[in-house]
Amino acid sequence: MSLFLRLLEDDDKALALRTALRAVAAGEPDPRVFEADPDAFALVPGAPFAYWVTDQIRETFLTFPSVETHTVVTSGTGTLDDFRFLRLWWESTAENMWFPYAKGGAYAPYYFDHYLSVNWGHDGQEMKAWIVVSTLAIFA
């Protein structure tokens, strides 16, 4: 077993390190100190250095199969040509063709002003066709 210190949230790293080490020496718990077996990192695909993850979570990777073995993993709605398919909401004219589009941005737990619209006329037929053509060109 090895001890790992997670001091990312502390502004004064030197003080946080001293405090955490004193807690370890005194046998007292500290939320910044983690004990993990480095060999257990191999249980997670790619063996990330995730010392703060519990053994139960690491063992979950043994219990359940990888998503990639049973399905195709893709991202959400993407245009592959934003200039062609996205407009600022005040630029879009046809109400039955342009719909609000969340492209990303800062974390907003309660409200997000959707300032973009996506061309989704005829159930996104034009954009879907463009994505198929672009994807075929990428893998050709």
pLDDT higher at 27 or 108 = 27
End-to-end C-alpha distance for the chain, whole angstroms:
49
Whether the predicted pLDDT of 73 surpasses 70: no
Round to whole Å and give the CA distance between 57 and 53.
Answer: 6
Cβ–Cβ < 8 Å for 13, 7: yes
CA count, 13 A, side-chain hemisphere, 19: 11
Round to whole Å and give the CA distance between 62 and 139.
Answer: 32
What digits encode the pLDDT tens for the residues 113-138?
888 999 888 888 888 888 888 777 77
What digits encode the pLDDT tens for the residues 13-42?
999 999 999 999 999 999 999 998 888 888
Counting beta carbons within 10 angstroms of the beta carbon of residue 55, is it exposed (0 to 12), middle (13 to 18) or buried (19 or more)?
A: exposed
What are the residue boundaries of the structural domains of the chain, listed by start? 2-69, 82-139
Name the nearest CA neighbour of 51 among 101, 2, 103, 88.
Answer: 2
pTM beyond 0.75: the answer is no
**Highest-scoring range by mean pLDDT, 4-13, 52-61, 84-93:** 4-13
Cβ–Cβ < 8 Å for 113, 100: no
Question: Looking at residue 140, what is its pLDDT?
Answer: 60
